[in-house]
Amino acid sequence: MSSNSPTSTPPPRGDKRLVRQSANRASYEREDLYHVLDACPIGHVSFVHESWPQSVPTAIARIDDHLYLHGHPKSRLYQALSRGERVCVSACRVDGLVKARSAFHCSMNYRSAVIFGTGELVGADEKPALLDRFTDRLIPGSLEDYRPYLAKELKGTALIRLALDEYSVKIRTGDPIDDEEDLELPHWAGVIPIESTYGTPLPSKNLNAAVDVPAALLAGVDP
């Protein structure tokens, strides 16, 4: 993880997980996968619907060794997931623009993951505790500040998990890599970082003025 080029044993030639472009940036390590997923609140879930690939951006949360997604039980996505159809989830976070002396060698610093699998519907017994952990992953520190779920809400929320067995990770960090013969050209080269930060919480217009932001929530979203 600390190096520019994560390394691990690649899957065999022809395997769908095999990263072929910039293969030196690929990783097949679980800790790298978690590092990427934990930085990405949104995953793009693709499945095949009437012979078209269809990709749906949706909130994701990695909890222990599974990836969780939730949504309306009747949505096309959750119908496909609960039928056990094959899906692919990709997630990506951009950490910087990489400017080289040539446009050809420009790039981005990023962390990305691609996961293949089939979904499994979480049962009613496990759902409440896992939904709490899901919420706490997406809005860190908020968990003590909700009224309890209503029975109809639990029923109306499909929670799906995917095993994290088949995946690849790609991470780029660091400087541009220019051609040796370009190094003395009078062009700037370097990285423009992209920072994603939480701003000051904005109270809802209908919030009772006596209600403050809970300390745990403030701490959870503290940059």
Is 101 or 161 the residue whose CB approaches a copy of itself more closely?
Answer: 101
Is 7 or 196 the residue whose CB approaches a copy of itself more closely?
Answer: 196
| Residue 155 within binding range of a copy of itself, rule CB under 8 A | no
| Residue 186 within binding range of a copy of itself, rule CB under 8 A | yes
| Residue 153 within binding range of a copy of itself, rule CB under 8 A | yes
Q: How many residues bind a copy of itself (CB under 8 A)?
A: 95
Strand partners, 66: 63, 163
- Residue 183 identity: L
Which token pair is 135? 């919420």
Subset of 12-31 contacting a copy of itself (CB under 8 A): 16, 20-21
Give the x-and-dash track for 68-97 against a copy of itself (CB under 8 A). Answer: ---xx-xxx---------xxxxxxx-x-xx
Which of the stretches 1-9, 24-32, 60-68, 133-141 binds a copy of itself when contact is defined by CB under 8 A? Answer: 133-141
Degrees, nearest 5: CA angle 61-67-69 = 65
Is 30 or 107 the residue whose CB approaches a copy of itself more closely?
Answer: 107
Other beta carbons within 10 angstroms of residue 124's beta carbon come to 10
| Residue 131 within binding range of a copy of itself, rule CB under 8 A | yes
Other beta carbons within 10 angstroms of residue 159's beta carbon come to 23
- How far apart are alpha carbons 161 and 191 in whole angstroms? 37
| Minimum distance from residue 34 beta carbon to a copy of itself (Å) | 17
* Residues contacting residue 97 through CB under 8 Å, at least 6 positions apart: 106, 108, 109, 191, 192, 194
